[in-house]
């Protein structure tokens, strides 16, 4: 739509606005991942993973898989070469180990 020719010219004003709005937020973030499907035996089910990050630790969350995989590589574990999602390459226990120095908690609710 080209409403803004040069977004850089708005950067200062947007940063001032963001800092002003900070007073309405908090240092707590979170996310929820819900999976629905069939459990073994064919019964319908749902699992929800709740994560809470306190004390501004939320921005660390996207880095956790890289930390877990780097630790595995440092122990001599290997992976297929190439880019791909890290799905199935770490456990929740490994995630917890990588967040032990942060104020990040998680829980799973199944129904």
Burial of residue 67 (CB within 10 Å: 0-12, 13-18, 19+) is: middle
Taking residues 8-20, report their average pLDDT: 93
> How many domains does the chain contain in total?
1
This prediction's pTM: 0.69
Residue 18 in domain: no
Note down the domain range covering 35: 27-110
Helices (H), 1-111: 11-21, 64-74, 92-98
Helices H, strands E: what count in the chain?
3, 3
How far, CA to CA in Å, does 54 sit from each of 21, 22, 60, 102, 111? 19, 16, 11, 8, 27
Residue 19 in domain: no
Residue 22 in domain: no
What pLDDT was estimated at residue 84?
A: 86
pLDDT reading at 5 higher than 90: no
Give the tens place of pLDDT for each residue, 39-72. Answer: 999 999 999 999 999 999 999 999 999 999 999 9
pLDDT reading at 1 higher than 80: no
Distance CA 102, CA 89 (A): 22
């Amino acid at each position: 739509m080209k409403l803004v020719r040069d977004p850089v010219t708005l950067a200062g004003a947007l940063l001032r606005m963001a800092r002003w709005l900070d007073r309405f937020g908090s240092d707590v973030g979170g996310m929820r991942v819900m999976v629905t499907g069939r459990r073994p035996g064919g019964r319908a089910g749902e699992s929800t993973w709740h994560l809470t990050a306190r004390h501004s630790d939320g921005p660390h969350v996207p880095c956790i898989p890289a930390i877990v995989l780097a630790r595995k590589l440092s122990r001599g574990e290997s992976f297929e070469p190439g880019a791909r999602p890290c799905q199935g390459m770490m456990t929740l226990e490994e995630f917890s180990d990588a967040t032990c120095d942060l104020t990040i908690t998680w829980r799973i609710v199944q129904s």
